[in-house]
Amino acid sequence: MENAYKEIEKGYLNMELLRFTTAGSVDDGKSTLIGRLLYDSKAIFEDQMEAIERASVGKGEEEVNLALLTDGLKAEREQGITIDVAYRYFATPKRKFIIADTPGHVQYTRNMVTGASTANAALILIDARNGVIEQTKRHSFIASLLQIPHLIICINKMDLVEFKQERYEEIKKEFSKFAPKLAIKDIRFLPISAKLGDNVVDKSKNTPWYEGPTLMYLLENLHIGGDNNFLDARFPVQYVVRPQSDKYHDFRGYAGRISSGVFKTGDEVKVYPSGFTSKVKGIHFGDKALKQAFPPQSVTITLEDDIDISRGDIIIKKNDTPKIEQDIDLMVCWFNERPLQIRGKYAVKHTTNDVRCMIKDIEYKIDVNSLEKDYDDKVVKMNDICRISIRTTKSLYFDPYTRNRETGSLVLIDESTNETVAAGMII
């Protein structure tokens, strides 16, 4: 028992969190792969397994259908399709994983974008028999657009091409031809068979020519320490903490999550939009005082000077100014059945700030399959991706999305329905 306690201290409390997204359809073996990762890491429990066995038999299927594990809603189970992002969890002694599992059809681009927005890595499956298809390009493009740092290309169903190295190399070459169009630095390839387990958790005897890691090893060891931006100190104020108690009578803390960069006590800071400067007096995390804070920590910061700061303001390190503009160009993915309205007005949520905007123009639309730009078609419908320009009612304090995923992103909201209609990445 003593040893087991030590294991807890050493192991569980020392794990990192990795979020990844998987995109694809049932046909390319995505559900089987997720099922295998969950099963092999013991994240599927007996009663869950029994439930899907019951359901598979009820539908007259011969084998246990692992896809039923990921199809959560009744409507989906009845129709045999996945209509939304589902989150799955598993852990190994090294890391806890959150999978954002999204369907791969063209009409669900918006779900893929949603799943990709917080991911460290994207898993893309290619059927070894079919090679690179339109869907592969679409998924890779979205991963790149959303700036997922790591792309893992699993060339699946290797068993159906007799584990031939030539086929693997051929597909790798095919993918590498269009890879320069992507803004992803870290791209890995793996030959796997999700169904039989080759190179998923254990190294396959069928691919002696492959010297790289297994998928599980890669997920456990992918270097994610550098995924956050630790350079530009940005702290959007989320909530002002005023205790109004005798003990903390004068306490005025600014609560929020560090978007990027590192804040230390004593740092000279500047607050926007007021432009006032001050110094970091304290960094609080519950009743603990910290010397520094960095993303993705949620803390409360106090300043040396009493200045008027409220939700939506941003605290930055002095001499490291973000962009301050009202006319903004951005890439958007449209989410709503009602098409984008040129000259239309929308509510904007950007960090903790709320403003309004008018869409001035659509510059071009992108065909997500060919990656070609279309400058003529100005009708933007659900799942379309395009470049637009907007004018906001007040200045936004931002960084380009490629530099900062937190301060470079925003959503548009239809003010008549309150629905989130678009995700925007500032250029």
Partner 1 sequence: MDKYIINHLRELEAESIYVIREVAAQFERPTMLFSGGKDSIVMFYLARKAFWPAKVPFPLLHIDTGHNFQETLDYRDNLMESTGTKLIVGYVQESIDKGKVVEETGVNASRNMAQTTTLLDTIEEHKFDAAMGGGRRDEEKARAKERFFSHRDEFGQWDPKNQRPELWNIFNGKKKMGEHFRVFPISNWTEMDVWQYIYMEKIPIPSLYFTHKREVFNRDGVWLAKADFMELKSSEKTELKDVRCRTIGDITCTGLTLSKANTLEDIIIEVAATRVTERGGRADDKRSESAMEDRKKEGYF
Strand (E) or helix (H) holding 327: strand 323-334
With CB under 8 A as the contact rule, the residue among 300, 340, 362, 365 that binds partner 1 is: 300
Nearest distance, CB of residue 138 and partner 1, angstroms = 18
With CB under 8 A as the contact rule, the residue among 188, 311, 345, 394 that binds partner 1 is 311
State which of residues 39, 40, 55, 170 lies at the interface with partner 1 (CB under 8 A).
Answer: 55
Residue with smaller CB distance to partner 1, 89 or 375: 89
Other CB atoms within 10 Å distance of the CB of residue 364: 15
- Pairing relationship of beta strands 268-272 and 314-317 according to DSSP bridges: antiparallel
Beta bridge partners of 198: 193, 202
Q: How many CB atoms lie within 10 A of CB 202?
A: 12
Is 399 a binder of partner 1 (CB under 8 A)? no
Instruction: Verify binding: residue 3, partner 1, rule CB under 8 A.
Output: no
- The yes or no reply on residue 73 touching partner 1 (CB under 8 A) is yes
Residues 332-351 close enough to bind partner 1 by CB under 8 A: 335, 347, 349-351
CB of 14 or CB of 376, closer to partner 1: 14
Quick check: 80 binds partner 1 (CB under 8 A)? Answer: no
Should residue 308 be labelled a site residue for partner 1 when binding is judged by CB under 8 A? no
Number of residues that bind partner 1 (CB under 8 A): 88
If binding is defined by CB under 8 A, does position 161 make contact with partner 1? no
Instruction: Classify 277 as helix, strand or coil.
Output: strand
- The Cα 167–Cα 227 span in angstroms is 32
Q: Tell which one of 75, 106, 160, 307 touches partner 1 (CB under 8 A).
A: 75
CB nearer partner 1, residue 281 or residue 373: 281
Q: Could you say whether residue 326 binds partner 1 (CB under 8 A)?
A: no
**Nearer of residues 2 and 166 to partner 1, judged by Cβ:** 2
Interior CA angle at 151 toward 202 and 80, to 5°?
75
CB 382 within 8 A of CB 336: yes
Among 41, 56, 277, 420, binds partner 1 (CB under 8 A): 420
C-alpha 158/C-alpha 192 separation (Å) is: 6
Binding mask 99-138 for partner 1 (x = CB under 8 A): -----------xx-xx--xx--------------------
Residue 246 touching partner 1 (CB under 8 A): no
- Pick the binder of partner 1 from 60, 62, 205, 245 (CB under 8 A): 245
- Residue among 196, 202, 213, 203 nearest 158 (CA): 196
Q: Do 278 and 313 touch, CB atoms closer than 8 A?
A: no
Residue 119's nearest CA partner among 21, 230, 22 is 21
CA dihedral (169, 170, 172, 176) positive or negative: positive
Least distance (Å) from partner 1 to the CB of residue 83?
A: 7
Q: Which of 165, 298, 321, 393 binds partner 1 (CB under 8 A)?
A: 298
Per-residue tokens: 67: 């896809």
**Rounded (to 5) percent helix, strand, coil in the chain:** 25, 35, 40
